[in-house]
Every structure is written in structure tokens, then in C-alpha cells.
Amino acid sequence: MPSPRADTAPPAPQPVSRQVLADRYAGPGEHDASQIYRRVALALAQAERPERREAVARAFLRNMEQGAIGAGRIMANAGARRTGTMVNCFVHPVGAGRGAASFEAGLADACKTLSMGGGVGYDFSVLPPADAQDRAGLPSACEAIGRYDAASAALAFEGARRGAQMAVLSCTHPDLLAFARAKAGRKRWRGFNLSVAVSDAFLQAVVDDAPWTLCHRAAPGPAARARGAFRMPDGLWQYRRESARALWRAITEQALESAEPGLLYLDTINRANNLRALETLSAANPCGEQPLPPYGSCVLGPINLSRLVSHPFGVGGPATLERGRLARMTRIQVRLLDNVLALTRWPLPAHAAEARAKRRIGVGITGLADMLAMLGLRYDEEAGRAAARDAVRIIRDHAYAASAALAAERGPFPLYRPQDYLGADRVGAELPAAVRRAIGRHGLRNSHLLSFAPTGSVSLAFGDNCSNGIEPAFDWVYTRMVRLGREAPVQTRAENHAWRRWRHLMGEDAPLPPCFLSAASIAPEDHVAMLAALQPLVDAAISKSVPVPADCPLERAQALFLQAWRAGLKGLTLFRPAAGMDAVMYARDAPQRPCSPPGDCAACE
């Protein structure tokens, strides 16, 4: 092994990072990250009392310089003249309650939100099946998704990136198969990611090889009645009974073929929700890290863990996570995101009302895999998962402590109830005693504190292309398609941050140690194991795709989805490389394969 360099400072930013920063986040007169940080810090300090603004702005600025930034909407829009929102993600109802007029109003609300840069998720399950008898002027679920997709594609939108959308359909909806197969070849509904909301009962029926009822409140038409549809005692109409395993096979075949639909484990989501006594969740934002009620939203902000390793790779001393600094940064990050709620432009009054009642925020992470590599740990081994859990536990504990401190200063969120947090089966049972006592005295300022998004563009622009979110690095050096403004994407060389640090410290010819693992070199089951290690500590959810080999058999894909369910995950998406699919990133010496997750998750960055 060559001797390390005496100069241990990080290398200068690479060209692709400077390009993306300038295109997506820099305002007039801004040329580097420090200028953006200063604009954002000054803007978000305006939520403070006048005498505290200068000190808080300095704290926000220092935090961003150390790696705790806002998500993309914050970094682009805070303190800027743009009219976009600083909120990344929303969930909307589709407006089925009062017939056609309500549907059109819901579509208009979605377009307004998307035009301001927000991404939106929807549960289309309330809309009638294609062969319902009387739709009261409503489109069927699949027709409605097409309407939303066409309307959003025609929008003028704010900023460099269009907000993505998520369509969710229940596993009980009679059009389940048509929905699951709708994006075969990825030619239809290009502005949408798709997820099937699966229940424990459905998955148990799969395991037991039992029949499954597809039903809806809308009355079936003559064709469905001729096939045996009938009204059930609970008022629902049973359209037909299918083999649960046959439905499961069709869903998972399509998930393996085109990376969609993903699965949302809806019962798990609702059991784990801090506010499960007050709301029922049936949809998530476009990348799946934030299950939300109707008109719910969340502001996001990741902490770059790759910036928090002292003596990376053991150069100059033992490589360790700077736990105290991570704790301090988390507390400041909670304050910054709570300030966003006070200052952002809201697309709709309903968003503002829902946000003020619950004050959801989402402290996140990026650079996890790079952190592990710098610590000399493998992503696919228990020691790596234990280190990841340790970092996330610090974030969780100090986020809740900071929210309790904010509640003492500003008051708890209006719907706060002690029993939702301090009961035996609630999040408080897992927190340190001092944090529980603080919550007991003051309550919480925010109903939810953690949400792990993909963070692709902000990790590229502000993190020197560190491994994004909790994903492993795609590769060490690769070609990335980068869209600048509204021009066609161009090919750009991109280098992983941890790899650049290693080369900078150890030299160009130093062999990579075993802790360097790309996404494709990790077994799919170990990707799921990392999710399972972290999800119990995250009160919202985690966005992650699990890459599987090109020759992955269907049975393995099905086992991965069941592994995720049994492990208590809230959602899962698989990705298998396939010729002909649109690619965002290309490995140097491998067939083209797109980034993970596939689709446009700009809403989460």
C-alpha cells in the first residue's frame, strides 16, 4: 500500500458538480456553493425574532458548510425571486367525492402544485373501475391517471426541474391488473411512478395460496354482473375473485420487467405512523419516503454523512464518525426545516392548514455508503449496518430532542397529544430518558422528524457526487446524462466522492480496499437488509431501489418483496437492467443501466 499524502483536504469540486449547481440552484450573481448557502441561511433566519436572526443565520450557514443542507426546493428557492415552493412533496386527493366537478377541481389543484415545483402523490383507488355501471361523470382510475399525466406534461413549471408524481392503487381495486401492467415498456404515464398499496391480508393470502376479492363501492356494469359480480353485506360490490398468487405473479412480473409498480406496505405504514389515531395514510410522495394524508406535505433536508468521518480510511488516525458534530448539526437542521414551514409559499391553502396543524419535517441523510467506505466498513455486512444504525440513531434522538426544545420555545404542533408519543408502543419508548422527559414537559414542535429521500441532484451539486441517500455508489467513474436548463441531456463524466478522496489520499494506482462496493456488486437481499436496519429509526419512510441482476428469476424478486414485508419496511422498488430503457447513468465497461431509483424523482431532491 502506498504511503498516504500529507495533504488530507478534500479535492476541489469536479466539473459535473459545478455544472449542476450553477444550473439548478444558483441565482443571479451566485457562482459557488458558499454564496447559495449564505442566501438560504439569511432567508430562513427571517422566521426568528429580529434580535436572533443574525446569530441563527450564522448557525444555518455553518451547518450547510459542514454538510447539512436543504433539499433541492429549499436550496433553489429560499431567498430567491422565484415563485416556487420550498416544500418538496405533497399528497392530494383526486377529488372523487362530489362527482365530475370535484375531479376537475382536484386536477386543477394538482396542476397548480406541480407548476410551483412540488411533487405529488395520489391514491386513485377511490375512482371507479373501468366496467362500473354509473361513474357519476368520473373517469376510471386508469383513465384519470392518463388525464393527470397529460395535464402535467402541458404545464409551464417553476425552476429547472418538474415535480414528479406517484399513482397508488389498492390491491383490492378491480382494475389492479390493468394498473400494474400499464407501464410495460415505460411508454405510458411517463410523468408518474406507480405503486400498489398491498395489505397484510393480501400478502398473507399470497403465502396461503388463497383467493382474493377485488371490490369497489361503485356498482358494476352489465358485463361485470354477467361474470358474477354482486353486492356484499358491507355495501361494497365484489367484482370478482382471483387467485392471490396469480395477482401477485402479475404484479411482480411487471415490477421485475420495468421497475414498476413498486409496493407500499400500507398496514405497516399506518401501524408505524406517529399520528395513527388521527389520520389514515393511503398514498406517498413520488419517491415513497413520505407517506402523507390528503394535502399533507413535508420539507426535507439531508445531512451528508461523508463529511463527518475523521481520518477517512484511517489516514492520520483511526477513522471514526464525529458523533458529537452529527448531533449538533441535527439539532440545527430541525430548526432550519421548521422555519421553512413558516416562510414557504404554499400552492394551496389546504397545504398550509395541514402543515401548520402537524408541522411534518424530514431530516434525512446522504453519503451513507461513502461514510461506510471511509470507515473501512462494507455496506453488505452487519458491521456496516450497525454503523449506519448508530448514525441514524443519533439523528433520531437529537431530532426529537430539538423538536421538544422548539416546542418549549414556540409551542407544540396544534394536534400534539402526549399519548401519541409517550405510550408503551410509541416512538418515545425507544428514545433516551432525557428526551422522553423533555417531550413530557414541552411536547413536540413537529409530528414527524425523519425522512430519507434519494437526494440525487443535491448530493451531486453540494456533496461532490457522494453516494446519494442510503444508496451505495452507482460506480466509481461513470458517464451521467445531465440536463442543463431545458436543453437535451448531455453526457458528463462523474466520479464518486469517496473514490476521489481515496485517490487523492493514496494515489492513482492504489488498489481499492474491500469496503468499496458499488450498487450492482451487493446482493439484493443485502440492500433490503440495510433498509430493514434503518427503517425502525425513521418515523416517515426511506426511498431506495433494490437493483437485481439481469437474469434475476421471478421467484427471487417475489422473495425480496416478501422479505421486505416481513422485515417491517414501508415500501420497496426493484430495478433490473434491461436494454431499451431510458438511462441516466452508464457504467464505463458495462451495458447501459439507468440510475436507481428509475423515473423522475426530482421532487425529492
Query: Residue 287 catalytic?
Result: yes
The whole-number average pLDDT for the span 183-199 is 90
Q: How far apart are CA 86 and CA 117, in angstroms?
A: 8
CATH 3.40.190.10 matches 89-214+241-284: no
Contact call for residues 461 and 17 (beta carbons, < 8 A): yes
Q: How far apart are CA 37 and CA 26, in angstroms?
A: 10
Among the ranges given (17-21, 185-189, 312-316, 589-593), the one the predictor scored with the smallest mean pLDDT: 589-593
Q: What is the pLDDT of residues 326-373, one digit of tens each?
A: 999 999 999 999 999 999 999 999 999 999 999 999 999 999 999 999
In terms of pLDDT, which residue wins out, 581 or 314?
314
Q: If pLDDT is split at 50, 70 and 90, which confidence band does 1 have?
A: low
In 3D space, the residue among 369, 326, 353 whose CA is nearest the CA of residue 518 turns out to be 369
For residue 24, which amino acid is it? R
Query: Residue 285 catalytic?
Result: yes
Question: Among residues of the chain, what percentage have pLDDT more than 70?
Answer: 92
Assess whether pLDDT exceeds 90 at residue 379. Answer: yes
Q: What is the pLDDT of residues 200-249, one digit of tens each?
A: 999 999 999 999 999 999 999 999 999 999 999 999 999 999 999 999 99
Non-local (6+) Cβ contacts of 5 within 8 A are 504, 505, 506, 507
User: How much is the pLDDT for 160?
Assistant: 47
Q: What is the pLDDT of residues 424-440, one digit of tens each?
A: 899 999 999 999 999 99
The whole-number average pLDDT for the span 132-147 is 92
Candidate list 289, 471, 495, 605, residue with the active-site label: 289
Candidate list 63, 77, 193, 285, residue with the active-site label: 285
Q: If pLDDT is split at 50, 70 and 90, which confidence band does 594 have?
A: very low
| 508 secondary structure, DSSP code | T
Q: If pLDDT is split at 50, 70 and 90, which confidence band does 175 have?
A: very high
Candidate list 215, 287, 298, 515, residue with the active-site label: 287
Q: How far apart are CA 357 and CA 3, in angstroms?
A: 57
Give exposure, 549-562, as e/b (b: 16+ Cβ within 10 Å).
eeebeeeebbebbb
Question: Among residues of the chain, what percentage have pLDDT more than 90?
Answer: 84
Assess whether pLDDT exceeds 80 at residue 588. Answer: no
Residue 30 Cα distances to 76, 284, 316, angstroms: 11, 34, 36
Query: Residue 111 catalytic?
Result: no
Contact call for residues 90 and 297 (beta carbons, < 8 A): yes
Q: In the structure grid, which three cell numbers stand for residue 531, read together? A: 433498509
